[in-house]
């Protein structure tokens, strides 16, 4: 069940310690979005905004987050889609679906970052941007925590 059917986007530099329910905190600086689980359980849900995690799009005053938010690592196991500030309940996750999602995520990250590495190598010493360097760390940390939870 979903208790918050609408979520308000709030652009912030730093995500506050105390989060309001029904608010999606978006930090473009840190490339991440955080909100309290829309089922009403209040758990913090972090959705990194990276090319292999979530994608945020804005339409006027409303925001959408894709793909769906699947909180299968939380006790509530809620699953919903945020589309134009509306929270749309999605189907429950099955174990098979979770496993295939983990495989997809791993494969997407592996192929994305190997392409990045190949690109960096060919760009050689001319590359002055180190922005990309912190992304695998964030994504890796998130994924590692999840995998530990699931299989540890």
Q: How far is the CB of 78 from Zn ion (least distance, A)?
A: 4
Going by C-beta distance under 8 Å and a sequence separation of 6 or more, which residues neighbour residue 90?
68, 70, 79, 80, 81
The phi, psi pair for 30, rounded to 5°, reads -95, 0
**What is the rounded CA–CA span in Å between residue 65 and residue 133?**
24
Closest CA to 109 of 73, 83, 147: 147
For Zn ion, the binding residue among 24, 37, 63, 135 (CB under 5 A) is 37
Q: How far is the CB of 10 from Zn ion (least distance, A)?
A: 19
For Zn ion, the binding residue among 9, 33, 39, 139 (CB under 5 A) is 39
For Zn ion, the binding residue among 76, 90, 98, 147 (CB under 5 A) is 76
78: contact with Zn ion by CB under 5 A: yes
- Please give the size of the binding site for Zn ion, defined by CB under 5 A: 5
Contact residues for Zn ion, defined by CB under 5 A: 37, 39, 41, 76, 78
């Amino acid at each position: 069940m979903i208790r918050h059917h609408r979520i308000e986007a709030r652009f912030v530099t730093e995500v506050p310690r105390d989060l309001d329910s029904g608010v999606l905190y978006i930090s473009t600086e840190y490339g991440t979005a955080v909100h309290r689980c829309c089922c009403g359980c209040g758990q913090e849900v972090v959705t990194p905004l990276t090319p292999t995690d979530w994608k945020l799009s804005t339409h006027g005053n409303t925001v959408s987050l894709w793909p769906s938010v699947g909180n299968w690592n939380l006790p509530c196991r809620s699953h919903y889609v945020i589309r134009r500030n509306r929270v749309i309940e999605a189907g429950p996750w099955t174990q098979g679906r979770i496993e295939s999602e983990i495989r997809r995520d791993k494969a997407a990250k592996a192929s994305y970052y190997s392409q990045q590495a190949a690109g960096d190598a060919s760009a050689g010493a001319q590359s002055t941007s180190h922005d990309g360097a912190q992304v695998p760390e964030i994504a890796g940390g998130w994924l590692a925590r999840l995998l530990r939870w699931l299989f540890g």
